[in-house]
């Protein structure tokens, strides 16, 4: 039985239960205990790498990357984030990259995962400068090389995989072992992301199939797998865009945060970057910004955190989550590791 079954509804807040909603070893231990009931392909003591496109192609990452960081934090797994890079789709208005930067870096700072927005850590904006992109590839390659059966790596591919490909290529060139590659799993929920490729552009020359050819020893879980996109009623949904994590088409244009309003009651108070409020209120600003016309964003992306659903699934959540289940994950009381 998955961890969500142990949690209650959102109205039970930290104010009434007396526990903190920051990253917690107890939550992580409770989730760890559930691994035996999860499919073998996604169970184990994983370190996590996250790769997001965003920028011009997928403005929903402005919501998704913030929510992904928040899920790691809520699950007590923030210390297992080995690598996080974003803005891998180049081009578009600068506001797209800037808003995504806020969602990844500022969320990580406000949630206490990294110390500063431009620090020497595991988070990289690969569109900010050529050097930062090279640094991201080097760092990611290093994480792949040190992977082993007892310390596996799960790579969440929330976009095209060119930057991921370059990191794997570098790791192999630098002597990554067969065990390291065999202990690395690539996880994707979207056919569009897996197909992204442009032979006429050096930043898009390699897609999911090229990555599989490069690293045949690794495990690949794609959008067709019930491990990421299963429906409880049977079959597989096209992507996590079909789940409650994407409220854009559900709320109506410009109304994508309507059913996310419960987030206002989630989490400890945080302050910084001109913001003061709960963690959940911060997340609401990111969900709203994904579809903000004044930022040049399509209003259909408002409330779309679908890429983050992959992290939620890896933490033990349902592949076809309802909003009530998402709400319970975030706002239920502290589970006991003994449950």
What is the full per-residue pLDDT of the chain (339 aa) written as tens digits?
444 443 434 544 333 333 334 445 666 766 665 544 677 779 899 999 999 987 555 568 899 999 999 999 999 999 999 999 999 876 666 677 889 999 999 999 999 999 999 889 999 999 899 999 999 999 999 999 999 999 999 999 998 899 999 999 999 999 999 999 999 999 998 877 766 766 666 767 889 999 999 999 999 999 889 998 889 999 998 777 778 998 876 556 668 899 999 999 999 999 999 999 999 999 999 999 988 766 666 677 889 999 999 999 999 999 999 999 999 999 987 654 454
10 within domain boundaries: no
Quote the number of domains for the chain. 1
6 within domain boundaries: no
**Residue holding tokens 């409220």?**
247
DSSP 77-131: -GGGEEEEEE--S--S-HHHHHHHHIIIIIHHHHTTSSS-TT-SSSEEETTT-HH
Please give the residue range of the domain that contains residue 267.
22-36+44-319
Angle (CA) 48 52 56, round 5°: 175
208 within domain boundaries: yes
Alpha-helix runs per DSSP H in the chain: 14-17, 25-34, 61-74, 94-101, 107-110, 130-145, 162-173, 178-182, 191-195, 208-214, 226-229, 248-251, 279-289, 309-314, 323-331
In terms of phi and psi (left: phi > 0; alpha: psi -120 to 50; beta: otherwise), the region of 39 is beta
> Whole-angstrom distance between the N-terminal and C-terminal Cα of the chain?
11
Query: What are the structure tokens assigned to 158, written together?
Result: 């929330």
Q: Is 39 exposed, middle or buried (0-12, 13-18, 19+ CB in 10 A)?
A: exposed
78 within domain boundaries: yes
Distant-in-sequence contacts of 130-138, Cβ < 8 A, 24+ apart: 133/163, 136/83, 136/85, 136/163, 136/167, 137/163, 137/166, 137/167, 137/170, 138/170
Local structure of 71: helix, strand or coil? helix
CA dist., res. 130 & res. 267, Å (int): 36
pLDDT at 283: 99
230 within domain boundaries: yes
185 within domain boundaries: yes
CA dist., res. 29 & res. 262, Å (int): 26
pLDDT at 262: 98
Query: What are the structure tokens assigned to 198, written together?
Result: 């442009």
Could you count the other beta carbons within 10 Å of the beta carbon of residue 91?
12
* Dihedral sign from CA coordinates of 160, 165, 167, 168: positive
The residues, any chain, with a CB within 8 Å of residue 332's CB and separated by 6 or more, are: 4, 6, 7, 8, 9, 10, 12
5 within domain boundaries: no
285 within domain boundaries: yes
CA dist., res. 169 & res. 162, Å (int): 10
**Residue holding tokens 């911060």?**
282
Query: What are the structure tokens assigned to 206, written together?
Result: 């390699």
């Amino acid at each position: 039985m998955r961890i969500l079954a142990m949690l209650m509804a959102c109205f039970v807040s930290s104010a009434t239960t007396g526990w903190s909603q920051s990253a917690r070893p107890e939550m992580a231990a409770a989730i760890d205990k559930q691994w035996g009931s999860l499919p073998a392909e996604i169970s184990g003591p994983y370190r996590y790498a996250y790769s997001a496109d965003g920028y011009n192609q997928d403005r929903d990452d402005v919501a998704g990357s913030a929510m992904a960081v928040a899920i790691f934090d809520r699950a007590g797994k923030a210390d297992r984030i080995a690598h996080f890079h974003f803005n891998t789709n180049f081009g578009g208005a600068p506001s797209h990259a800037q808003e995504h930067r806020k969602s990844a870096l500022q969320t990580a700072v406000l949630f206490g995962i990294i110390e500063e927005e431009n620090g020497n850590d595991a988070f990289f904006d690969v569109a900010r400068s050529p050097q930062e992109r090279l640094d991201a590839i080097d760092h990611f390659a290093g994480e792949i090389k040190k992977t082993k059966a007892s310390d596996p790596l799960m790579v969440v591919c929330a976009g095209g995989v060119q930057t991921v490909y370059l990191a794997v290529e570098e790791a192999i060139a630098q002597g990554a072992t067969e065990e390291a590659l065999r202990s690395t799993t690539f996880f994707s929920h979207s056919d569009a992301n897996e197909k992204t490729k442009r032979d006429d552009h050096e930043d898009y020359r390699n897609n999911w199939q090229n990555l599989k050819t490069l690293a045949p020893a690794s495990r690949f879980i794609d959008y067709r797998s019930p491990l990421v996109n299963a429906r409880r009623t049977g079959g597989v949904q096209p992507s996590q865009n079909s789940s409650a994590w994407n409220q854009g088409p559900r709320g109506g244009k410009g109304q994508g945060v309507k059913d996310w309003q419960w987030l206002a009651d989630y989490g400890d108070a945080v302050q910084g970057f001109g913001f003061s409020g709960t963690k959940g209120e911060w997340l609401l600003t990111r969900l709203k910004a994904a579809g903000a016309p004044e930022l040049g964003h399509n209003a259909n992306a408002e409330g779309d955190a679908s890429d983050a659903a992959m992290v939620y699934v890896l933490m033990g959540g349902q592949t076809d989550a309802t909003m009530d289940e998402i709400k319970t994950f975030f706002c239920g009381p502290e589970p006991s590791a003994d449950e």
